């Protein structure tokens, strides 16, 4: 992980790219998964930055390509489920169907 950490100190890699590189250098592939989960919940984090960085780290041998794919996929699912749960929560003033299921059949 030292090689990835050394590249994050390069000039011009501050901000989001530097933060993502440091997180992946510290936590490896699970760090990439955390960033992708945050990207789902907080859209200003672009996956166009995160996924190539994870692929680059995997290509350098920091972690395996399989773990990069597995952890970023898991992070994406976790972020999507979090958004689903927020969106499907109780709504104020909603009467719905009164707890009954609607049937489409006659």
Is residue 94 left, alpha or beta, with left meaning phi > 0 and alpha meaning psi from -120 to 50?
beta
Whether 18 has a pLDDT exceeding 50, the answer reads yes
**What pLDDT, in 10s, does the model give residues 19-62?**
888 989 899 999 999 999 999 888 788 888 889 999 999 999 99
pTM to 2 decimal places: 0.69
Where do the structural domains in the chain lie, given as residue ranges? Answer: 2-6+14-87
**Maximum mean pLDDT: which of 5-9, 12-16, 43-47:** 43-47
**Maximum mean pLDDT: which of 36-45, 74-83, 88-97:** 74-83
DSSP codes, 3-32: HHHHHHTSTT--HHHHHHHHHHHHH-HHHH
Angle at 45 between CA 42 and CA 48, to 5 degrees: 135
Query: Tokens for 74?
Result: 């898991």
Q: How confident is the model at residue 97 (pLDDT cuts 50, 70, 90)?
A: low
- CA separation for the pair 95, 99 (Å, rounded): 9
Eight-class DSSP state of 101: P
Q: Around 41, how many Cα atoms within 13 Å sit in the side-chain half-sphere?
A: 15
């Amino acid at each position: 992980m030292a090689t990835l950490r050394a590249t994050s100190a390069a000039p011009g890699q501050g901000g989001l790219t530097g933060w993502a590189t440091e997180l992946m250098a510290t936590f490896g592939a699970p760090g990439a998964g955390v960033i992708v989960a945050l990207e789902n919940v907080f859209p200003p984090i672009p996956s166009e930055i995160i996924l190539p960085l994870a692929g680059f780290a995997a290509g350098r041998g920091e972690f395996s390509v399989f773990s990069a794919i597995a952890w970023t996929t898991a992070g994406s699912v976790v972020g999507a489920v979090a958004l689903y749960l927020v969106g499907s929560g109780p709504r104020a003033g909603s009467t719905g169907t009164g707890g009954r299921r609607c049937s489409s059949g006659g």
